[in-house]
Structure 1
């Protein structure tokens, strides 16, 4: 794929994660787990993240366990993390902040 972004270096990943304190580097991907105020709120968060992912043409792995939603980001076709993963993590963080504010948590 000609437009595939280049994988980030370890230093670039570390720098990017400094601005994403809720995310952790796990097995070559970045991961964040959110506990939603209800199951339906968690599903709505997933729906909103899905819209962002479609717009970016960059799709996270999502695991839903009742109110706990885990997002895992990596750029599979680049063989590691890219700027797309860090950008999507920032967008997910914004959606989580909106969810938290809407539910007074």
Structure 2
């Protein structure tokens, strides 16, 4: 998988609300009503990430979920990251 340059990354970010590029990764965060809702979304994302064989760096504190995506083998952001980001957005949108 080819590492994308900053111009390519910023162009792709135009299609993802609430995501930003920094430190060689794309990042976002979500807030939920409570821990149970946040964790339920994490489980759904985990199954999709496993299916795509691409796993997020993430953290969860109570009702907040922070996600960072980067393709470690490529040393930065690739199409795999944007594919998983779109999947994550679909999961979030389906839950609203």
TM-score by length of 1: 0.88
- Superposition RMSD in Å: 0.8
1:94 equivalent in alignment to 2:83: no
Aligned to 2:33: 37
Q: How does 1:69-88 map to 2 (within 5 A)?
A: 69-88=65-84
Structure 1 residue aligned with 2:60: 64
- In 1, the alpha carbon distance for the partners of 2:17 and 2:92 equals 13
Larger Rg: 1
* d(CA) in 2 for partners of 1:29, 1:23: 10
TM-score, with structure 2 as normaliser: 0.96
- The CA distance in 1 between the partners of 2:44 and 2:34, in whole Å, is 15
Structure 1 alignment gaps of length 5 or more: 101-105
Q: What is the aligned residue count?
A: 96
2:50 alignment partner in structure 1: 54
